Structure 1
Amino acid sequence: MKKAAAEFIGTFTLVLFGCGAAVIAGMGTGATSIDVLGISFAFGLSIVAMAYGIGKISGCHINPAVSVGVFMAGRMSASDLITYVIAQVLGALAGAAVLYLILSGKASGWDGGLGQNGWGTDYLGEYDMTAALVFEVVATFLFLVCILGVTQNGAPAHLAGLAIGLTLVVIHIVGINVTGVSVNPARSLGPAIVGAASNPGALAQVWLFIVAPVIGAAFAGVLFRKGALLDAGDE
Structure 2
Amino acid sequence: MAITDPLALQVLAIAKEAGDKIMEIYDRDFAIYEKQDTSPLTEADLAAHKCIVAGLEAISPLPILSEESADISWDKRKTWDKYWLVDPLDGTKEFIKKNGEFTVNIALIDGGKPIMGVVYAPALKKSYVGVVGQGAWTETAEGVNPISAKPHQPGELWKVVGSRSHQSPEIQNLLAQLEGETELVAMGSSLKLCLVAEGEAHLYPRLGPTSEWDTGAAHAVALAAGADVTVLDAADPLNSDAEALTYNQKESVLNPYFLVSA
TM-score class, shorter: 0.3 to 0.5
Higher strand share: 2
- TM-score, normalising length: structure 1: 0.34
Considering Cα pairs closer than 8 Å and 6+ residues apart, tell me whether 1 or 2 has the greater RCO: 1
- TM-score, normalising length: structure 2: 0.31
Higher CA-based Rg: 2
Higher helix share: 1
